[in-house]
Chain A
Amino acid sequence: RKEVEQDPGPFNVPEGATVAFNCTYSNSASQSFFWYRQDCRKEPKLLMSVYSSGNEDGRFTAQLNRASQYISLLIRDSKLSDSATYLCVVNSFGEGGYNKLIFGAGTRLAVHP
């Protein structure tokens, strides 16, 4: 089983649509969860951290279900500028106990007029 799995996409949606991204992770010891956004040939940019209670930042809502090891991201009223690849990212601890990030393969979103 992959450490972090996402829908491969792509998702093609019209402006104004609501779009949902799903992600599952395999390591129950993971403590921190993130959504990053990556534009073509650019670096991953932190979109938001994901907390157990769920959190919202404007049009973006993230949810975490630890029991199911499931993370989601909802984008409401999508804009053309939301077109990007959305990366589900989970922290993991190596043998030395230090943190590292494990990335999903990403889900590409294309918002069209």
Chain B
Amino acid sequence: EPEVTQTPSHQVTQMGQEVILRCVPISNHLYFYWYRQILGQKVEFLVSFYNNEISEKSEIFDDQFSVERPDGSNFTLKIRSTKLEDSAMYFCASQGQISYEQYFGPGTRLTVT
């Protein structure tokens, strides 16, 4: 069964450092997403990506965040200068053309110290 994969599973970084989180969506899917979940809180939408550009973004997704799909396979989330409050699980999801069902990767746990 096709699945979304993410790397790394856990990233520890110091405040102010840049991090790149990587995702490989399901191969025939066209819509890609990043969500985050702060420990003990609900899953929150960050950004959606379609046709090589951002289609929607939330208030959380400020200028410190960026996404790209450089090679038609990997889908990345970059945080330019991490803050303590960026510590969370970051989930990538992908969606096909027919329904709004989204399939999630296993997540990257980001810890900012």
A residues near B (Cβ < 8 Å) are 31-32, 34, 41-46, 49, 87, 91, 94-96, 98-106
Contacts and interface: CB of A to CB of B under 8 A. Distances in A.
Interface of B: 31, 33, 35, 41-45, 48, 50, 55-58, 89, 91, 93, 95, 99-107, 109
A75 B35 CA distance: 27
Given A34-B101, A94-B56, A99 B95 contact: yes
Contact of A104 (B42, B58, B100): B42
Given A43-B105, A91-B100, A98 B56 contact: yes
A113 B50 CA distance: 46
A34 B48 CA distance: 19
B43 A99 contact: no
A33 to B, nearest CB: 9
A46 B104 CA distance: 8
A43 B104 contact: yes
B31 A44 contact: no
A9 to B, nearest CB: 13
10 contacts: A31-B100, A87-B42, A87-B43, A91-B100, A94-B56, A100-B33, A100-B48, A101-B100, A104-B42, A105-B41
